[in-house]
């Protein structure tokens, strides 16, 4: 491996630290403003608007395609003159040449429709970035840049076997087929040789031989907490969802209870947890959003912050899909539910000791709890560079987190 690759890797880590430092500085500037505690929602909203003005995922993707293919004279016109169809055809051709599927799951959607969707989306999940990495022959630095700049997330999670495999393949410029063979190898590891063994000087992020990767995958498999990370993520989701459901049933703090009452039987004198549907949970969490003519919450597309919040709204459909184990639990699912609990902590007996605490103390406790849960699920800690996560932290640092959360959502539909 040449020195330029290693230098690029080091630069990537330094860049990530700088992104985090800058994000914390920006959050600090917002909360230190003289009027923050009196106008939290308004200031948070303005801050998020400034984040939305940054280039979106589809902008990054089109710019990448233009710059990398201009070298081969694929495009002989200015960037602004290239059509989505041209970009889409380029992606499809590259995926075919590299034997990478457009979709990893059986689907009736045509490849062209999926690719065009990528080219118009403000944000996507990490799996799309990795797929594009293989399909477009990206370097490890390119993929790292897309993760951090195009979707405002952190770099490869080397505690996750899939991402560790992907990073190894990008670092060593290996094919998608090779990555699949490594994934199959990981699944074939049955009995941990030394359960709970410690890392033995692995060159994480800089492995250059398959033997090194095999040993590292064995190590990850031996770590029970990572081996069951998906199960643990579902377990934590169920626990947190249950707490939120109980809080709503007890009418703690929440003002949007009309639908709860409507669903109660005439003979029911109290609100019971079983009567709290996923629709009620969604409408309670997003009580700052108005209803449309069909008496459903307004769509995400109507929000002025759609590019910031688009992927992170915990809808009733997503809740149901997670309960049925049809979707994979994402970081934001857990972060949102935990926030709802902490934002209403002064009326929840379990969190009574945290009531009326200093906002910074509350935020610190939330961060510790969130990082513990995310770590247990094999996920990366809170990442303030991500606009949604910075939004959650800013709300927790206000005098009334729940009011700030609801009011910011409300503001995004007013503008």
Can you give the pLDDT at residue 257? 41
Q: Could you give the residue ranges of the DSSP H alpha helices within 223-290?
A: 224-227, 229-249, 258-263, 278-285
The tens-digit pLDDT sequence of the chain (415 residues) is 444 444 444 444 455 566 567 777 778 778 887 777 778 889 989 888 887 656 689 999 999 999 887 555 567 788 888 999 999 999 999 999 999 999 877 778 899 999 999 999 988 999 999 999 999 999 999 999 999 889 988 899 988 899 999 999 999 999 999 999 999 999 998 765 555 555 556 677 789 899 999 999 998 888 755 456 668 899 999 999 999 999 898 865 554 444 433 443 333 434 445 679 999 999 999 999 999 988 899 999 899 998 888 789 999 999 999 999 999 999 999 999 999 999 987 544 444 444 456 889 999 999 999 999 999 888 889 988 888 999 999 999 999 999 999 999 999 998 6
- Within 8 A by CB and 6+ apart from 208, the residues are 1, 171, 172
- In this prediction, residue 1 carries a pLDDT of 40
Distance, CA of 34 to CA of 39 (rounded, Å): 10
CA-CA distance, 91 to 97, in Å (whole number)? 10
Which residues lie below 8 Å from residue 294, measured CB to CB, with a gap of 6+?
none
Ramachandran angles phi, psi of 376, nearest 5°: -60, -30
| DSSP β-bridge partners for residue 297 | 291
SS3 content of the chain, % helix, strand, coil (to 5): 65, 0, 35
Domain boundaries, the chain: 3-9+56-223, 229-414
Alpha carbons within 13 A on the beta-carbon side of 205:
16
Res 70: pLDDT = 53
- pLDDT for res 198: 55
CA distance 378 to 234: 12
């Amino acid at each position: 491996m040449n020195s330029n690759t290693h230098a690029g890797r080091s630069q990537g880590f330094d860049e990530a630290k700088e992104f985090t430092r800058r994000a914390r500085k920006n959050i600090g500037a917002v909360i230190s403003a003289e009027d923050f505690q009196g106008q939290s929602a308004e200031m948070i909203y303005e801050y998020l608007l400034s984040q939305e003005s940054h280039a979106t995922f589809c902008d990054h993707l089109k710019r990448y395609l233009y710059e990398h293919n201009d070298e081969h004279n694929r495009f002989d016109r200015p960037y602004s003159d290239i059509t989505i169809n041209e970009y889409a055809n380029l992606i499809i051709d590259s995926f075919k040449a590299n034997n990478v599927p457009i979709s990893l799951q059986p689907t009736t959607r045509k490849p062209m429709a999926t690719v065009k969707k990528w080219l118009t989306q403000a944000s996507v999940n990490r799996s799309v970035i990795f797929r594009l990495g293989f399909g477009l022959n990206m370097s490890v630095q390119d993929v790292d840049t897309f993760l951090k700049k195009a979707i405002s997330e952190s770099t490869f999670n080397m505690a996750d076997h899939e991402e560790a495999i992907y990073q190894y393949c990008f670092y060593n410029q290996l094919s998608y087929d090779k990555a699949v063979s490594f994934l199959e190898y990981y699944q074939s590891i049955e009995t941990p040789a030394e359960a709970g063994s410690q890392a033995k000087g692995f060159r994480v992020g800089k492995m250059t031989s398959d033997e090194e990767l095999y040993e590292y995958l064995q190590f990850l498999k031996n770590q029970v907490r990572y081996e069951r990370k998906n199960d643990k993520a579902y377990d934590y989701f169920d626990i947190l969802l249950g707490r939120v459901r109980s809080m709503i049933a007890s009418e703690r703090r929440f003002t949007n209870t009309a639908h709860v009452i409507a669903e109660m039987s005439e003979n029911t004198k109290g609100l019971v947890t079983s009567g709290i549907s996923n629709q009620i949970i969604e409408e309670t969490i997003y009580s700052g959003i108005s209803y449309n003519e069909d008496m459903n919450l307004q769509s995400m597309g109507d929000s002025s912050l759609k590019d910031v919040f688009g992927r992170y709204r915990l809808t009733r459909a997503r809740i149901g899909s997670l309960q049925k184990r049809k979707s994979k639990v994402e970081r934001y699912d857990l972060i949102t539910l935990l926030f709802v609990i902490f934002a209403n902590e002064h009326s929840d007996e379990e969190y009574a000791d945290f009531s009326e605490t200093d906002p910074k103390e509350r935020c610190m406790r939330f961060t510790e709890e969130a990082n513990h849960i995310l770590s247990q699920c094999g996920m990366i800690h809170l990442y303030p560079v991500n606009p949604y996560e910075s939004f959650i932290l800013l709300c927790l640092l206000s005098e009334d987190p729940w009011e700030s959360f609801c009011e910011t959502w409300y503001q995004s539909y007013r503008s």
